Amino acid sequence: MSPAEKQIRQAIELNGPISVEMFMGLAINHYYATRDPFGAEGDFTTAPEISQMFGELIGIWVADTWIKLGQPSPFNLVEGGPGRGTLMADILRATKGVDGLHQAMNIHLIETSPHLREMQRQTLAGYEVEWHSNLETIPNDPLIFIANELLDALPIRQYQSFEGKWYERVIGLENDKLVFGLTESTLNLPPVEGAIKEISPASIHFVAQLSLKIRDCKGAALLIDYGYDEAVTGETLQAVKAHGFVPVLEDIGNADLTALVDFVMMSKVSQVPVIGPVTQGEFLKSLGIQMRFERLKAKATPQQVMELQSALVRLTAEDQMGTLFKVMGLCHDPSIELAGFDD
């Protein structure tokens, strides 16, 4: 039994059934604090790990946005949930030639896992980097914020409609096994028999805080995640281990827990204008991923060409990450047209 499961069982024994939100928080904190979950040897692969093309195009977006913001100096380049540091490394490599950008830039990473911080330190050796546990300690200079697959890992609450009422789903113990149950709820929505509604207070708080920072300090943000851009009901909570799905209540703390991001809600809570969301495929094509592919292909071996082609399909195809993943922009100034969001 993992330390996370022990903690969860103790919490239930002390106070009764716990919310899905509390369960996710305890499980995820243990999970990210104790391992490198990324890549072929881990549990899942993110877009920056699939191909350098992804990070390089985000780098182009950063440079273009910095110019459109009026080339502020100094400014903060901030990444939330930076993984191994691969995306930031690709962004920095792709923007080296942009006159004045690196001189104006201060790099900040929001990361709570000591294990991942160490990996990021190694990946970004040679750059001055500051680490933070939350947005609040980021200095109040103009900022460009990037997050890829951050919001999907923030805890959610789940509600289920039953006999004309909404109940909150909780996790309790039955015959010494963890099981889902229901408890009274004050959710104020029209009930739909059997429907499940997911709400992420942590994501709502994070995007609201980020948008206030962007409003007050002036800047822009790019949020990339898998999620939906219309109001839906249904369960999306899932556990992933070794690139496959596993039961949510098994191997707790040793599998990644995620849920689809509600981009409709994220748009509603933003205190600055929102651009998009658009699909990841549309966004990357608008930024010129096909052109980048052709340039890399021209210098590649036959094996590398196959890998590049595979990565292009995986990142942009409708039946791969191209449609499931969405990209949303935030900017303090509605007159600024952020790249990648062409109508």
pLDDT of 13 over the 90 cut: yes
Tell me what pLDDT residue 342 has: 82
Pairing of strands 75-80, 105-110: parallel
Query: CA–CA separation, 179 vs 181, rounded Å?
Result: 7
pLDDT of 197 over the 70 cut: yes
Listed range (31-40, 294-303, 313-322, 323-332) with the worst mean pLDDT: 31-40
Domain spans in the chain, listed from the N-terminal domain onward: 3-11+35-153+200-233+251-331
pLDDT of 243 over the 90 cut: no
Tell me what pLDDT residue 42 has: 75
Q: For residue range 64-122, what is the model confidence (pLDDT) as tens digits?
A: 999 999 999 999 999 999 999 999 999 999 999 999 999 999 999 999 999 999 999 99
- Across 140-149, average pLDDT: 97
User: What is this structure's pTM?
Assistant: 0.94
Three-class DSSP category at 43? coil
CATH fold of 3-11+35-153+200-233+251-331? Rossmann fold (3.40.50)
- Percentage, residues of the chain above pLDDT 70: 99
Pairing of strands 143-148, 157-162: unpaired
Tell me what pLDDT residue 237 has: 96
Tell me what pLDDT residue 343 has: 59
Tell me what pLDDT residue 311 has: 94
- Across 295-311, average pLDDT: 93
Query: CA–CA separation, 145 vs 133, rounded Å?
Result: 15
Tell me what pLDDT residue 242 has: 86
Q: Contact, 153 vs 256, CB < 8 A?
A: yes
- Across 301-329, average pLDDT: 95
Q: For residue range 258-275, what is the model confidence (pLDDT) as tens digits?
A: 999 999 999 999 999 999
- Across 242-266, average pLDDT: 94
Average pLDDT for the chain: 95
